[in-house]
Amino acid sequence: MEAEQQMLDILVRLSHALGTMTERGRGAVVSVSSIASFLPRSGHRRSLGEQLQRVGPDHASCRVQVWRLCPGFVKTEF
């Protein structure tokens, strides 16, 4: 339940921030996630990424950029 509340809080904050940036006529949202967010069963990471992909084009004409940065897998010794 806590994870769902955190996701809802993030989406509410994102919505408010996008509204403010749209009114101002400029801004950027950068979401740093993981390439794993594209995999099945990635849960909330996937949800947030999909939401960002939906709202990005809607705000481009207002000079608000929405970026989703997903670094690839990195082999480590862990």
CB 15 within 8 A of CB 52: no
pLDDT interval class at 77 (50, 70, 90): confident
H helices of the chain, in order, are 2-24, 44-59
pLDDT tens digits along 33-63: 777 777 776 666 667 777 777 887 888 888 8
- Whole-structure pTM value: 0.67
Which pLDDT does position 23 carry in this prediction? Answer: 92
Which pLDDT does position 25 carry in this prediction? Answer: 92
In the block, tokens 């950068």 appear at 30
Q: Which residues are CB-neighbours of 53 under 8 A, at least 6 positions away? A: 68
Which pLDDT does position 42 carry in this prediction? Answer: 63
